[in-house]
Structure 1
Amino acid sequence: MILAIPAGLALNLGIGVMVLGQGTGALVAGVVYLAGAALVCVAMRRHYPHARLGSCNAVTLMRMALTTALIAPLVGGVAAGWAVAAIATISLTLDGVDGWLARRSGLCSDFGARFDMEVDAALALILALHALAGSPVGPEILALGVMRYLFIGAGLVWPWIMAPLPVSYARKAVCVLQLATLIALQVPVLSDDLAITLARIAAAALIWSFGRDVLWLRGHR
């Protein structure tokens, strides 16, 4: 972890400055990354059952660095674009790598799964903010970015919502659809009608997925 955090910070700042062309925004993104890394360290001490970080969690940390780097253009007032889409695609691609590494190295854990999930949620929120600023889709696009946080907020009111859920390939497929749609909305190749249609399909699928999970949790509380 001692080496992984500085490596992630270097990746974060390098992308912000050299790829996204942002100075002040890159510094803000770096601060957000460090704050996230600090929270990860605290959570690892409390909930991680293994003695070593492992390449799986290092990859997730790099995903977090890529994700938070996308804050830089938002701070700089530059939303969406090919560079944002490319970086987000790399982060999404690595989403399957960290799980494979965890299984291969025997370092699977609830902490690792939660870490991975929260990076996905952060990526969705940041991409939704980019899409809101740079795509023809209206404020409804935020549904693709805030559902996870609404779910957590509901869990503060009804604790049974935070109970473990069974593995669901449908849930995973909807997550991929959500992020793939948000990435597609970053590039100026979709017609306005197609962009709006894709966003609404993905939002409907996401609402269905969360609604199904809430109903399951309510029935098994």
Structure 2
Amino acid sequence: MFRVRTGPLLGLAVQIVLLAGLTCTVGLGAAGWSAALAYAGMLCALLRRGLRRVGADALGPADRVTLARALLVGGVLALVVDAGSGPAPLGVLVPLTAVALALDAVDGRVARRTGTASAFGARFDMEIDAFLILVLSAHLAPALGGWVLAIGAMRYAFVAASAALPWLRGTLPARYWRKVVAAAQGVVLAVAAAGVLPPTAATVLVAGALALLVESFGHDVAWLWRHRPAPARTRDVPVAHAERISVVRTGSVAVVRAEEVVVARTGPAAGGAEPLVRLGPAARLATHQPV
């Protein structure tokens, strides 16, 4: 249990060291510090919760690589938020993004070579990818237009929709093209953020990446819709009515009770007869007659 506590907390400490380094090099301000610390604190809490849920006592080798990527993403977040009132220091932002993207190809290989691949690690990796894309989309939106935010928001819109539509929570089959499209988003956004392309070329490139993402999500949504669970079917039950009459004598008065009983045929029984099952009384009538 000690390692569970120290693993994510060590990541939080490294994030603080990274932010201190950015402060010394590019003059990171309070806004960047606040955003990155909030992100790192949330990351630490979610990792601790995830490890306990899967019964693991420490991060695996591939998970530690993903954690390193996550801390670099925290640095990118700090630079993007801090540059809200001015240009971001591309000389630091682009290398941090490039290393984070490069490590995305490392953690999967480490997991396969060490035999430590897990659903927890795959989910951790996917969430870090999605958040980096969201941060880069927010960084490019002022220059290219608000439509760029659709790239970063699509994953979270899908998660929100799945909360209301249970069929979206189905298990998708493995699809290599999905991984290619996801990787292309980060690379395209990083190239556009580097400022090496003319604005028109950057807009066309990012728009193409968005089109690929829409196609990929559309394909998955269509597959989930076609394979959604069939709704439970109800069977019409034939209903019959019968009347049961009882007479109770009390002295010189007889109480006659007529009780209507609802019965249903449940299906053919042996010999072709259909048994009747009483569902409950439908109405009662009581009369008092002198004898």
Q: Does the alignment reach a TM-score above 0.5?
A: yes
- Contact (CA 8 Å) 1:8, 1:61: kept in 2 or not? no
SS in 1 for 2:213: helix
Tell me which residue corresponds to 2:131.
122
> Alignment partner for residue 28 of structure 1, among 11, 35, 41?
35
CA-atom RMSD in angstroms: 1.8
Q: What is the CA-CA distance between 1:52 and the residue it aligns to? A: 3.5
**CA deviations over 1:151-170 (Å, ceiling 9, x no partner):** 10110111221222222110
Identity of aligned residues (%): 37
Q: Is the 8 A contact 1:12 1:30 kept in 2?
A: no
Cα 1:88/1:20, change in 2 over 3 Å: farther
Deviation string for 1:127-186 (max 9, x for gaps)? 0111113x3x11111111111001101101112212222221101111111111110111
1:109 to 106, 115, 118: 118
Question: Structure 2: how far apart are the matches of 1:33 and 1:70?
Answer: 12
Largest Rg, 1 or 2: 2
Tell me which of 144, 167, 174 is aligned to 1:160: 167
Tell me if the contact between 2:12 and 2:44 (Cα under 8 Å) persists in the aligned partners. no
Query: Which consecutive residues of structure 1, in runs of 5 or more, have no partner in the other structure?
Result: none
The answer (yes or no) to whether the contact 1:16–1:70 under 8 Å persists in 2 is no
Distance 1:193 1:18 in 2: 35
Cα-to-partner distance string for 1:173-215 (whole Å, 9 max, x where unaligned): 1111111111011122211110110011000000000010111
Structure ranking higher on relative contact order (CA contacts 8 Å, 6+ apart): 1
Asked if 1 retains the 8 angstrom alpha-carbon contact of 2:12 and 2:40, the reply is no
What's the counterpart of residue 179 of structure 1?
186
| CA displacement 1:79-115 (0-9 Å, x = unmatched) | 5423212111110100111111111222111111011
Give the match for residue 206 of structure 1.
213
Size of the alignment, in residue pairs? 218
1:63 aligns to 2:69 (yes or no): yes
Aligned twin of 2:266: none
SS where residue 161 of structure 1 aligns? helix
Could you tell me which amino acid in structure 2 is paired with residue 117 of structure 1? M
Structure 1 residue 93 corresponds to structure 2 residue 102? yes
Alignment-derived partner of residue 256 in structure 2: none
Is the deviation greater in 194-203 or in 35-44? 35-44
Deviates more, 1:7-16 or 1:27-36: 7-16
Q: CA deviation at 1:51?
A: 4.3
CA distance in 2, matches of 1:155, 1:145: 17
Q: Aligned in 2, Cα 1:114/1:215: closer, same or farther, shift over 3 Å?
A: same
Going from structure 1 to structure 2, the CA distance change for 1:62 and 1:112 (only over 3 Å counts) comes to same
> 5+ residue gaps in structure 2?
229-291
- Say if 2:141 and 2:149, in contact at 8 Å, map to a contact too: yes
Q: How far off its partner does 1:61 sit? A: 1.1
Aligned to 2:151: 144
Q: 1:27 to 1:180 in 2, by over 3 A?
A: same
| Matching residue of 2:281 | none
TM-score of the aligned structures, taking structure 1 as reference length:
0.90
Instruction: Name the aligned partner's letter for residue 69 of structure 1.
Output: G
The 1:146–1:104 alpha-carbon spacing in structure 2 relative to 1, beyond 3 Å, is same
Q: Could you list the per-position Cα deviations for residues 5-58 of structure 1 after superposition, in whole angstroms to 9, with x for gaps in the alignment?
A: 245324542453245430311243123112112112102211x35443122111
Query: Is the 1:20–1:72 Cα contact (8 Å) retained in structure 2?
Result: no
Equivalent-residue separation in structure 2 for 1:140 and 1:8 (angstroms): 34
Shift of 1:75: 2.9
